[in-house]
DNA sequence: CAAGGTCGTCAGATTCTCTGACCAAATTGT
DNA sequence: ACAATTTGGTCAGAGAATCTGACGACCTTG
């Protein structure tokens, strides 16, 4: 089986688990597309352009999804003090709650995987994927 | 960085590279959504239902995408001799050509990754991902 | 300070994907 | 053997996600 597909399967499983956990915690209105932007927001806020680069969609798409997240109360847009053109997407209280739910589930899944593989192989997996970023992460090129 | 995201990055990179190779080889009309179904067609043909399970979309979506692939000349639908309800999606000549292009590029990328990680770690990566399928692959549950 | 680049948004169109309903064929249970 | 249920595929319609192109506001460079 090709490695692309082997990457897809656990990636998608992780996504599904987190979406299910969010829905179970009352965040069922969050869509997968919204979550793919939401999960990339930095603790101190992120620019739409950065979110677009990381999620690998256009900034227009991010704009639409951030609109939705804002209307649903998960994020706010604030001016970027360092750049008059830019705005920062930041979490609201509700957004932080969703974050906690999502991150907890991620940790649980990772623990499950580590249990399956053993700690050494899990670490090796993480390290290998991290190293591949130098070849595969388009966002690695210029961000701070 | 969470493992889900670490999986996403190379997964997406592989996809992009293959799509670019296909476009360069004259298969630029293939869309990403079509390719995600196309790549899962078995050499002897696949049922739409199986493709849907593997690609993790509904069978209706697969139906639409197979229609498009068929109109573009990449696949054909033939009756499944073992089940009167079912039809098999099979490659045409053109489809096989695209397959060769895609698979060659996949091999090149995998070689590049193996070069980066070294053969042992690349094998370990593949083995770990394969083992995670027992926890993460919904398609593993029932298929023949 | 002029020229060019970047950030975000608006507008419009296309593509993708889903839910619900349906028929035909296979499978199951009686 | 046959009714009931399940499974495979399609049709129809709606909704969501995504893209391209154009634009004004602001930053950066020379």
Residue that wins the pLDDT comparison between B141 and B111: B111
pLDDT tens sequence across B70-83: 999 999 999 999 99
Rounded to whole angstroms, the distance from the CA of residue B35 to the C1' of nucleotide C20 is 27
Amino acid A143: pLDDT: 57
**Which residue is it, tokens 């590279």?**
B17
Contact A117 B131 (CB under 8 A): yes
Burial class for A32, CB neighbours closer than 10 Å (0-12, 13-18, 19+): exposed
3-state class of B85 per DSSP?
coil
Nucleotides on chain D within 7 angstroms of protein Cβ: 7-13, 16-22, 24-28
DSSP characters for chain A? --HHHHHHHHHHHHHHHHHHHHHHTT-TT--HHHHHHHTT--TT-B-HHHHHHHHTS-HHHHHHHHHHHHHTTSEEEEE-TT-TT-EEEEE-HHHHHHHHHHHHHHHHHHHHHHHHH-HHHHHHHHHHHHHHHHHH-GGGSS--
Cα-atom radius of gyration of chain B, to the nearest Å? 16
Number of H helices, E strands in chain B: 6, 2
Chain B residues touching chain A at CB-CB below 8 Å: 1-15, 18, 39-40, 56, 103, 106, 110, 112-113, 116-117, 121-122, 124-126, 128-138
Amino acid B144: pLDDT: 45
Chain B hits for A40, CB-CB cut-off 8 Å, are 5
Residue nearest to nucleotide C27 (CA to C1'): B83
Judged by phi (left if over 0) then psi (alpha if -120 to 50, else beta), residue A118 lies in: left
3-state class of B91 per DSSP?
strand
Reply yes or no on whether the pLDDT at A79 is more than 50.
yes
Integer angstrom CA distances of residue B35 from A34, A93, A121, B45, B119: 23, 40, 32, 15, 29
Please give the share of chain B, as a percent, with pLDDT higher than 90. Answer: 95
Start-to-end C-alpha separation, chain B? 36
ipTM: 0.94
The answer to whether B98 and B75 are in contact (CB under 8 A) is no
Amino acid B140: pLDDT: 79
pLDDT tens sequence across A6-52: 999 999 999 999 999 999 999 999 999 999 999 999 999 999 999 99
pLDDT tens sequence across B20-61: 999 999 999 999 999 999 999 999 999 999 999 999 999 999
pLDDT tens sequence across A94-132: 999 999 999 999 999 999 999 999 999 999 999 999 999
Label residue A141 by pLDDT band (50, 70, 90).
low
Chain A hits for B134, CB-CB cut-off 8 Å, are 116
CATH of domain A3-140: 1.10.10.10
Amino acid B138: pLDDT: 87
Sorted by sequence, the CB contacts under 8 Å of residue A88 that are 6+ apart come out as A44, A45, A46, A47, A77, A78, A79, A80
Cβ–Cβ contacts within 10 Å for residue B101, how many? 18
And the tokens for A51? 């979110």
pLDDT, averaged across chain B: 96
Start-to-end C-alpha separation, chain A? 36
**Which residue is it, tokens 């592989």?**
B14
What are residue B79's phi and psi, to 5 degrees?
-65, 145
3-state class of B41 per DSSP?
coil
Chain A hits for B43, CB-CB cut-off 8 Å, are none
């Amino acid at each position: 089986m090709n490695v692309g597909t082997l990457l897809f399967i656990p990636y998608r499983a992780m996504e599904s688990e987190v979406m299910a956990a969010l829905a179970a915690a009352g965040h069922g209105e969050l869509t997968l597309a919204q979550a793919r932007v939401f999960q990339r927001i930095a603790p101190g806020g992120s620019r739409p352009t950065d979110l677009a680069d990381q999620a690998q969609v256009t900034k227009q798409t991010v704009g639409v999804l951030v609109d939705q997240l804002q209307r649903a109360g998960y994020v706010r847009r604030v001016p970027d003090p360092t750049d008059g053109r830019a705005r920062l997407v930041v979490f609201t209280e509700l957004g932080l709650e969703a974050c906690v739910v999502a991150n907890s589930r991620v940790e649980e899944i990772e623990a499950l995987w580590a249990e399956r593989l053993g700690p050494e192989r899990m670490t090796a997996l993480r390290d290998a994927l991290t190293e591949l970023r130098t070849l595969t992460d388009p966002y690695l090129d210029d961000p701070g």
